C-alpha cells in the first residue's frame, strides 16, 4: 500500500506548488502590450502619429529567411547576396558596373592583436573602387596610416563598419590572422580558391 513515503509525497506537493506558482508568476509578464510586437512603435525614432506610420515596412518582416547574424541588422548580408537571397541592383547610371576583385590583404602593425585579413571580394561585391580609393585608402599598401582609434571615430573602415556594415565590436572578424602561425608576407596574398 505505502508505495510512496510521506516524504516523497511532501516533496511532490511542494514541487507541484512551486511549478504552479512559478507559472502564475510568469504569466502576467508575458501578456503582450497592444503594440509590443511592432518594432517601430517604441524604437525612439519613428513617430507613431505619422500619417504613414502603419504603411512603412518593418525590418523583421523583410528579413524572414535571411541568414542570421548576431549583430547589426542581425543579417549576414554578404552571405545573403552570395546565396542569392537578395539580388540588389548594381547600378543606376547605365555604364557603371560592379568590378569584383578577388584579392586579400593582410595588414600587420596591429599591436597585441591578431593581424587583419581584408577581403577585397566581399567589399567589391557591394562597393565601387572609388568608394575607398584613393580616399580614405591609398592604393599603395601600407601608406594610408590606418589607426584603430581613427576607425573607432568613424574614419577608414569605420566609415561603414560601425555605421552600416557589421559593427566595430566584432574585433575577430577582421583581426583573424594569428601572428604566431602566419608565415607569409603582409600585403597582397596569393589568391585562394573559394
Partner 1 sequence: MKRNKKMGLARPGMKTVVFRLIVCVAIPALVALAIMGSSPARAEYADIVINNYSDGAGMRPAIFPHWFHRIRFRCKVCHADLGFKFQAGGNEINMLKIINGEFCGACHNGEIAWSVDNCDFCHSGKPGTPTQVHGSTVQKLLKPSQPAK
Selected range binding partner 1 among 90-98, 114-122, 140-148, 171-179, rule: CB under 8 A: 90-98
Q: Sign of torsion, CA 145 149 154 158? A: positive
Q: In what order do the strands lie in the sheet with 115-119?
A: 175-177, 115-119, 104-107, 187-188
For residue 113, the minimal CB distance to partner 1 (Å) is: 17
Closer CB to partner 1, 108 or 153, in the complex: 153
Q: Does 96 bind partner 1 (CB under 8 A)?
A: yes
Partners of residue 177 on adjacent β-strands: 115
For residue 145, the minimal CB distance to partner 1 (Å) is: 17
Instruction: Name the burial class of residue 165, with classes exposed (0-12), middle (13-18) and buried (19+) by CB atoms within 10 angstroms of its CB.
Output: buried
For residue 100, the minimal CB distance to partner 1 (Å) is: 11
Closer CB to partner 1, 57 or 181, in the complex: 57
For residue 181, the minimal CB distance to partner 1 (Å) is: 29
For residue 184 the three cell numbers come to 607569409
Q: Does 135 bind partner 1 (CB under 8 A)?
A: no
Angstrom distance (rounded) from CA 194 to CA 184: 19
| Nearest to 100, CA basis, from 64, 79, 129 | 129
The DSSP result for 50-83, as a single string, is STTGGGSPPHHHHTTTSPB-SSTTSB-HHHHHHT
Q: Interface residues for partner 1 in 5-64 (CB under 8 A)?
A: 6-7, 10, 13, 17-18, 21-22, 24-26, 28-30, 36-47, 50-53, 55-57, 59, 62-63
For residue 174 the three cell numbers come to 577582421
State which of residues 67, 154, 175, 182 lies at the interface with partner 1 (CB under 8 A): 154
H/E segment holding residue 24: helix 6-27
Closer CB to partner 1, 15 or 108, in the complex: 15
Q: Dihedrals φ, ψ of 115, to 5°?
A: -70, 165
The footprint of partner 1 (CB under 8 A) covers: 6-7, 10, 13, 17-18, 21-22, 24-26, 28-30, 36-47, 50-53, 55-57, 59, 62-63, 71-73, 75, 77, 86, 88-93, 96, 98, 125-128, 130-131, 152-154, 158-164, 167-169
Amino acid at each position: 500500500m505505502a508505495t510512496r513515503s510521506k516524504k516523497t509525497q511532501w516533496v511532490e506537493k511542494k514541487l507541484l506548488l512551486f511549478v504552479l506558482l512559478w507559472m502564475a508568476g510568469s504569466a502576467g509578464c508575458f501578456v503582450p502590450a497592444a503594440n509590443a510586437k511592432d518594432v517601430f512603435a517604441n524604437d525612439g525614432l519613428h513617430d507613431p502619429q505619422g500619417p504613414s506610420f502603419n504603411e512603412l515596412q518593418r525590418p523583421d518582416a523583410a528579413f524572414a529567411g535571411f541568414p542570421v547574424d548576431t549583430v547589426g541588422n542581425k543579417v549576414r548580408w554578404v552571405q545573403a547576396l552570395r546565396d542569392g537571397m537578395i539580388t540588389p541592383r548594381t547600378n543606376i547610371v547605365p555604364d557603371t558596373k560592379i568590378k569584383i576583385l578577388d584579392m586579400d590583404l593582410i595588414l600587420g602593425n596591429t599591436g597585441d592583436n591578431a593581424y587583419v585579413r581584408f577581403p577585397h571580394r566581399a567589399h567589391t561585391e557591394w562597393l565601387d573602387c572609388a568608394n575607398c580609393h584613393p580616399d580614405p585608402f591609398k592604393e599603395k599598401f601600407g601608406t594610408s596610416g590606418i589607426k584603430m582609434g581613427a576607425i573607432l571615430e568613424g574614419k577608414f573602415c569605420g566609415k561603414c563598419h560601425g555605421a552600416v556594415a557589421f559593427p566595430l565590436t566584432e574585433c575577430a572578424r577582421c583581426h583573424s590572422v594569428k601572428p604566431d602561425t602566419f608565415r607569409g608576407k603582409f600585403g597582397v596574398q596569393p589568391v585562394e580558391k573559394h
